[in-house]
Chain A
Amino acid sequence: MGIAFRLSTELVAGIFLGGGIGLLLDRWLGTEPLFLLIFFFLGMAAGILNVFKTAKQLAAQAEADAKEQSGK
């Protein structure tokens, strides 16, 4: 449960941050949906990248734990 929650927050945080940056840029430059759309998808990509990194790191950790177990 902890791992699932960790991965999902990574994904959601990416989307929210991307959307937020896009919205602020749009408000600042007056180009309504343009940057929101661009950064929404960039945020999604960043979220997926985060999930990927986290999963890789968790897998490495699990492998290290398994090695430690078998070593003993």
Chain B
Amino acid sequence: MAVEEAASGAAHHGGGLAIDPMHQFRVETIFPIHIGGFDVSFTNASLWMVIVAVAISLLTIAGMGKRSMVPSRMQSVAELSYEFVATMLRDNVGDAGKRFFPFVFTLFMFVLFCNMGGMMPYSFTVTSHIIVTFALAFFIFLGVTIIGFIVHGFRFFQFFVPKGVPIVLLPLLVVIEVISYLTRPISLSVRLFANMMAGHTMLKVFAGFVIAMGWLGGFLPLAFMVAFTGLEILVAFLQAYVFAILTCIYLNDALHMH
């Protein structure tokens, strides 16, 4: 009885004081805009996407503005990111992938800056929302499929027919291959979203522990948080890389159909 009371008291007490770890993911409207019954308001998610787009443009345009032989720091970063994506595309797609460089570069930089922007205090992590990552992944999937059909025509259907399979098993395997192909946008988007959301929630939960445990016990979760923030920065980069490299692999499948 007493325990129950204490628990409910704590819960009640916690309602006002405790940190809600999911609060950071709330989409808040900044300018309400309604067009034809659709809510297209400018939200904090839109704001952060604009910030990310501006930051990338600044980095690439201002960074490459001087084009000096001995690059400044900003030029180095811009050149490094160019090189990084170009190498990734060359290794995974080959020379045919050069045409898709602008697309992959934009995608990689957008996801990377969204993830990294989310590491700043008080910011909003756009990529921690499944709808954002799914929209990205779905259009990649759609685009890659269309490219496959443009390059190979109806022969692209051969992609779903595994070689050297007895004719009895073929219908079953084709269905499985098609389902496996259709899971691409799902696994691509869920991976990015889940990583970002899990990491940020964990950070906030541990931040809550720091406050709850006070001056004496709070240093332990604080130390963990510092380490975990480092890990999160790694994850932010790694997930952007995985997202871009999988796009390359899908492009390669569509172009070369092995």
Interface residues of A (CB under 8 A from B): 2, 5-6, 9-10, 12-14, 16-18, 21, 39, 42-43, 45-47, 49-50, 53, 57
Contacts and interface: CB of A to CB of B under 8 A. Distances in A.
Contacts of A39: 179
Interface of B: 175-177, 179-180, 182-183, 186-187, 190-191, 194-195, 235, 238, 242, 249
A13 B186 contact: yes
Interface of B is mostly: helix
Contacts, number: 53
Contacts of B187: 9-10, 12-13, 50
Contacts of A42: 175-176, 179
Contact of A10 (B176, B179, B183, B194): B183
Contacts of A10: 183, 187
B180 A57 contact: no
A18 B179 CA distance: 7
Contacts of B180: 14, 46-47, 49-50, 53
A46 B176 contact: yes
